[in-house]
Amino acid sequence: MLKPTLLKKSFNVIQRVGKTATVAGLTGLKVAKGEKMDAYLLKDTFEQLGTTYIKIGQFIASTPSLFPREYVEVFQACLDQTTPLPYSYIEDILNNELAKKGKTLEDIFISIDKTPLASASIAQVHSAVLKNGDHVVLKVQKPNVDTIIETDLGLLYGATKIMDTLAPSLKFASISPIIDEIRLRMSAETDFLQEAKNIDDFQDFLQKTNNQKVVAPKVYHDLSTQKVLVMERLFGVSMIDDVAMRQYCKSPSEVMVDTLNTWFASLTMCESFHADLHAGNLMLLTDGRIGFIDFGIVGKLEPKAWQACVMMMDSFSREDYDSMAHYMIEMGMTDKQNLVNKAVLSADLQRVMKKILAKDSLFIGKTIDKLDTTKLKDHSDEINQMMLEIFEVGKRHGIHFPRDFTLLTKQVLYFDRFMKVLAPELNMFQDKQITIV
């Protein structure tokens, strides 16, 4: 039974999300000054409301094309760490899932550590040892996560529809596609068989490219189900900790170069690319190799779209706006290609970009390739703003970037953030050690 307070909360949230989304340019409005405080309040509310809202919060953080910068920034700190569930709940799920395979815990494990390695909103991770002596980790989906998400999203969707009928002028309809998108991402994240496939694809790619520097944990398919993922346990340190990393490598910067080269290569050579590679999902192993973990969120990009994206950035660095417009059209969805007026788009890009470049002394009179790149890293804000402006200009001209381009942008911003700690001297797009295409 739905509690009225829950329903009220949902309406409250939808109202706030509605404001966020409409403010964000769906209606072209600008964000008011007090908006940052609102963003903090909303983030706190989401953290309290649990799984679905935390995931929505993370969606906001990763979709600068849709939400105002204030919200994107504040939601980047949306915490997905929860108080661990007592092991008895996890054991119940393990028993149920293994029973589907005709197995029992006693058949398979010597031991399972009851203290989790990690506990987030969707899953809890425990280490264990198999009967054959292999060290593994068990990623176990928390009870009823799928039902909770479906109910919450259903409620939000329903609330949107009601608001839409009652107050059509508020443009709540624009939120339904957002909820659809979140539902799509969440259903992928709650299907561990899909995650297992993503890991397999990545391992095929490593093998195909003869990459000896990076690994992903081997999946134990015969023990894995939609709710339990059994994987090889990797031993090492998280790349959040650059001091700990130095025990196993000469320079974190070299590790960063190998990480970036592998990820960029995966964009065109792997079935999918890892789209949630924050420093916590990267490990430096005790043997010096790099471990990619947590393949719950992946993206797919047509090689042609990625090539066009790189060419677009290149055109921008040469201040060649005609060429920039050409590649932007190539990147976007093709159905309206013929309707986009390239000359007007080019002029629009030139106007907007020049305005941004003129705002900051760092950029005055310089093309990107002539900038002091050490300073460039301190200006990621301006770079983010440029990305947002490119999205905006595109939108005005009817160009819709590929869906997974948002995931790609988010990932690049992630790299940008932790490179500041691990490799402050490195410039992702200019360093000769890094191969982007």
Ligand X SMILES: Nc1ncnc2c1ncn2[C@@H]1O[C@H](COP(=O)(O)OP(=O)(O)OP(=O)(O)O)[C@@H](O)[C@H]1O
By CB under 6 A, residue 117 contacts ligand X: yes
Least separation in angstroms between residue 283's CB and ligand X is 7
Q: Among residues 38, 276, 294, 348, which one is catalytic?
A: 276
By CB under 6 A, residue 233 contacts ligand X: yes
Instruction: Please state, in angstroms and as integers, the Cα–Cα distance from residue 227 to each residue in 90, 147, 249, 278, following that order.
Output: 11, 13, 35, 23
Q: Which stretch binds ligand X (CB under 6 A): 17-25, 116-124, 178-186, 204-212?
A: 116-124
Residue labelled with tokens 């890009």 = 349
Q: Which stretch binds ligand X (CB under 6 A): 44-52, 112-120, 140-148, 348-356?
A: 112-120
Tell me the C-alpha distance between 184 and 154, whole Å: 13
By CB under 6 A, residue 80 contacts ligand X: yes
**276: annotated active-site residue:** yes
By CB under 6 A, residue 241 contacts ligand X: no
Tell me the C-alpha distance between 75 and 89, whole Å: 30
By CB under 6 A, residue 122 contacts ligand X: yes
Residue labelled with tokens 């999946």 = 219
For the residues of 16-52, what is the DSSP string, one character each? HHHHHHIIIIIS-PPPPTTHHHHHHHHHHHHHHH-HH
Tell me, by CB under 6 A, how many residues bind ligand X: 18
By CB under 6 A, residue 62 contacts ligand X: no
Residue nearer to ligand X on the CB measure, 118 or 313:
118
Least separation in angstroms between residue 226's CB and ligand X is 15
Residue nearer to ligand X on the CB measure, 6 or 117:
117
Tell me the C-alpha distance between 318 and 77, whole Å: 35
**Residues in region 285-314 near ligand X by CB under 6 A:** 293-294, 296
Backbone phi, psi, residue 366, to 5°: -125, 140
**Residues in region 124-153 near ligand X by CB under 6 A:** 125, 137, 139
Least separation in angstroms between residue 123's CB and ligand X is 4
Residue nearer to ligand X on the CB measure, 316 or 414:
414
Tell me the C-alpha distance between 183 and 2, whole Å: 20
Residue nearer to ligand X on the CB measure, 61 or 231:
231
Q: How would you write 98-109 as a 3-class SS string?
A: HHCCCCCHHHHE
Least separation in angstroms between residue 52's CB and ligand X is 14
Residue nearer to ligand X on the CB measure, 211 or 281:
281
Between strands 135-141 and 290-292, the pairing is unpaired
Phi/psi-derived region of residue 428, left when phi > 0, alpha when psi is between -120 and 50, beta in every other case: alpha
By CB under 6 A, residue 234 contacts ligand X: yes
Phi/psi-derived region of residue 348, left when phi > 0, alpha when psi is between -120 and 50, beta in every other case: alpha
Residue nearer to ligand X on the CB measure, 132 or 334:
132
Least separation in angstroms between residue 358's CB and ligand X is 40
Q: Where are the alpha helices (DSSP H) in 318-379?
A: 321-331, 342-359, 373-376
Name the site residues for ligand X (rule: CB under 6 A): 80, 117-118, 120, 122-123, 125, 137, 139, 217, 231, 233-234, 280-281, 293-294, 296
